[in-house]
Structure 1
């Protein structure tokens, strides 16, 4: 039995300016979030991306094809009301950052991790004033508390819309530093994504590609690249 899907009921989709940003109108009626708040976003670019998603719907509405709408809903209905909790959760990634947990063998993997990940840690030191230190092995070794506190303050300084995008940049990569690197345009988002998959790429080279794992990785990649665009459109 197929799930019920709301039907397309509108003909015209438009972007409208509000007192504090932009919204989307369907036949002149403003779009609301699932929690019945006005879908009000900070930039015209974001509103146009959302409007394009609504305009692309055919007979029924498919939320799976509307990533900007979903992210904006999350920013308004969830992150706005849980900003501190979300910021704290993301900041905690810094104390166990992917870039800091290094293999102790084989030497080829150790060398590749250093080659790809050390520059990101160096960038964080220069751009963020945060020096995180690599560790060998999988046991947790805390980073400097003052450094993590500084990074936490940066995360707390983000707007709800920025934080909604940043959430997936960090969560999908497993790295607070790579999240900042993508948000601040250190390198191309695709390159940063591939850096986050270094260990997986190594395993694929040794044992071959697992089709199911590859499909999952592609979905995560799409989410990461979308999160970067959403962050950029957040102003």
Structure 2
């Protein structure tokens, strides 16, 4: 027996005004999330991106080709019901941020980490008022509580859609500072991704690259770039 698949049943996807933002209608019927909530997004730009994904579907619906739709569903169905817990989980990255854990050797790697990561720690200090200090090795050393409070407040101030984007920016990079820097356009998003991959790229330069690992890294990079796009779509004026 062949696996059942959802098939296209609509002719046209359109954006419509809704209470609290914008929604997407398929032949006049509003789209709902997997948990049957109203799919209402904060900006027209995000709604138009979602409508374009639905319009691009052919005979069989391919969910993996609809990243903005999936992120919006996550914001509504997963993040909104537990936003405080999600915000706390992301804020906790600040106390073990990737950018703070440095190698003791070799000297070339130490220098590369300092050159790439110190400017972002300086940026967090100057722009967010949060000075995080580097440590040598992998053993956890707590950061300044005052700095962590500043970062926590930054995260908790985000709406559900921005928090959804930050979740992927942080979890994929391993760095709260990189995630916030991406949202604030502190550096080019592709540069920030490469900064987060510094240790992995160092290992590749020594041992070579495994094909399976390279494919996994490419998927993560795509997801990281999408998270930034999703954040930006939620900030475009309606």
Listed as ranges, the gaps of 5+ residues in structure 2 are none
CA contact (8 A) 1:43 1:234 kept: yes
Residues 2 and 216 (structure 1), Cα distance of their counterparts in 2 relative to 1, 3 Å cut: farther
Q: Secondary structure at the match of 1:51?
A: helix
Q: CA deviation at 1:178?
A: 0.1
1:93 aligns with 2:99: no
Q: Please list, as runs of the form range in 1=range in 2, the aligned pairs for 1:40-59 lying within 5 A after superposition.
A: 40-59=40-59
CA contact (8 A) 1:5 1:62 kept: no
Output the CA distance in 1 between the equivalents of 2:89 and 2:117: 23
Q: CA deviation at 1:4?
A: 2.2
CA contact (8 A) 1:165 1:228 kept: yes
Output the CA distance in 2 between the equivalents of 1:4 and 1:157: 42
Q: Please list, as runs of the form range in 1=range in 2, the aligned pairs for 1:163-174 lying within 5 A after superposition.
A: 163-174=163-174
TM-score by length of 2: 0.97
**1:152 corresponds to:** 152
Root-mean-square deviation over aligned CA pairs: 0.9
Output the CA distance in 2 between the equivalents of 1:215 and 1:4: 29
Q: CA deviation at 1:150?
A: 1.4
Q: Secondary structure at the match of 1:81?
A: helix
**2:180 corresponds to:** 180
Output the CA distance in 2 between the equivalents of 1:106 and 1:23: 53
**1:28 corresponds to:** 28
Output the CA distance in 2 between the equivalents of 1:127 and 1:188: 17
Q: CA deviation at 1:2?
A: 5.2
Once the two structures are superposed, residues 145-188 of structure 1 have per-residue CA deviations (whole angstroms, 9 ceiling, x without a partner) of 12111111110110001100110000110000000110000011
Q: Secondary structure at the match of 1:131?
A: coil
Q: Secondary structure at the match of 1:94?
A: helix
Output the CA distance in 2 between the equivalents of 1:4 and 1:178: 41
Once the two structures are superposed, residues 119-150 of structure 1 have per-residue CA deviations (whole angstroms, 9 ceiling, x without a partner) of 01001101100000000001000101121111
Once the two structures are superposed, residues 189-232 of structure 1 have per-residue CA deviations (whole angstroms, 9 ceiling, x without a partner) of 00000000000111111111111111000000000000001111
Output the CA distance in 1 between the equivalents of 2:82 and 2:62: 27
Output the CA distance in 2 between the equivalents of 1:146 and 1:129: 9
Q: Secondary structure at the match of 1:25?
A: strand
1:110 aligns with 2:117: no
TM-score by length of 1: 0.98
**2:122 corresponds to:** 122
Listed as ranges, the gaps of 5+ residues in structure 1 are none
Q: CA deviation at 1:111?
A: 0.4
Q: CA deviation at 1:7?
A: 0.7
Output the CA distance in 2 between the equivalents of 1:155 and 1:74: 17
**Divergent runs of 4+, >3 A:** none
Output the CA distance in 2 between the equivalents of 1:36 and 1:223: 25
Q: Secondary structure at the match of 2:81?
A: coil
